[in-house]
């Protein structure tokens, strides 16, 4: 570990007026810190698909608009907030512009028939989590 980074450390240490012993101790101290620091580990994501269909099951958190065609006062209008829905289902398609997903399906001789279909603009999607 010290050998690979020795050139970078030696260049930095040349700027300082230190004796050879102090430079060596400094390199060893830096190498010890790198060795002791724990590495960040990623959580393992299970990426199994359903055996019946070749689509990944996901949970999508997104922002939705809210509208109301009724009459309201300014106080009621001020209380109006965006909606933050969560959908779970299978990811059919994911592009730069949108995602398509479905929550139910039926498989017959002709193929798969999709139900509970949802299409969400990508800018509205906050998080996609594989299940």
Q: Distance of alpha carbon 2 from its chain centroid, rounded? A: 34
- pLDDT recorded at residue 43: 58
- pLDDT recorded at residue 52: 73
- pLDDT recorded at residue 1: 46
Q: What is the pLDDT of residues 48-60, one digit of tens each?
A: 555 678 899 999 9
The parts of the chain modelled with pLDDT lower than 50 are 1-2
In the chain, where the domains are located: 2-36, 56-130
- pLDDT recorded at residue 108: 86
């Amino acid at each position: 570990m010290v050998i690979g980074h020795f050139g970078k450390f030696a260049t930095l240490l040349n700027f300082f007026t230190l004796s050879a012993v102090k430079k060596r101790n400094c390199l060893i101290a830096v190498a010890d810190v790198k060795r002791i620091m724990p590495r960040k580990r990623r959580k393992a994501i299970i990426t199994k698909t359903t055996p019946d269909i070749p689509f990944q099951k996901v949970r999508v958190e997104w922002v939705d608009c809210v509208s109301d065609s009724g009459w309201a006062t300014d106080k009621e209008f001020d209380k109006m907030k965006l909606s933050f829905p969560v959908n779970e289902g299978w990811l059919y398609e994911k592009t730069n512009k949108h995602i398509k997903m479905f929550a139910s399906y039926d498989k017959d001789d002709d193929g798969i028939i999709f139900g509970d279909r949802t299409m969400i603009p990508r800018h509205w999607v906050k998080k996609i989590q594989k299940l």
